[in-house]
Structure 1
Amino acid sequence: YAGRKPDTKMHERVIALKSGGCSIAETARLAGVSVSQVKRVWAQNQTKDKV
């Protein structure tokens, strides 16, 4: 069992909002997810870009 599949549409929305200059809290509110989720998605995106 590999866990829940990632919600790629939500990830793309979070990354787009955050890249557009929104704060973490504002991104969470606009995307309809938690602040923790925004931080997790953003961190994963940042490490993926560095590789």
Structure 2
Amino acid sequence: MLGDVDLDQVLARDILQQRLEVNLLLVAAAHRAARGLPDDATTGTPRHYR
């Protein structure tokens, strides 16, 4: 089915891909938190508090 590809290599590739995706989400969350103002989910504009 997989030809010459070892199952361990396939699993390692999938795990690495998931790790990169999780890292991207963590970095994006950190950058968003650093901006200071949360986005309004409906309009995409920042909320301004008084």
Q: For this structure pair, what is the TM-score category when the shorter chain's length is used for normalisation?
A: 0.3 to 0.5
Tell me the TM-score normalised to structure 1 length: 0.35
Is the helix fraction higher in 1 or 2? 1
Tell me the TM-score normalised to structure 2 length: 0.36
Q: Which has the larger radius of gyration?
A: 2
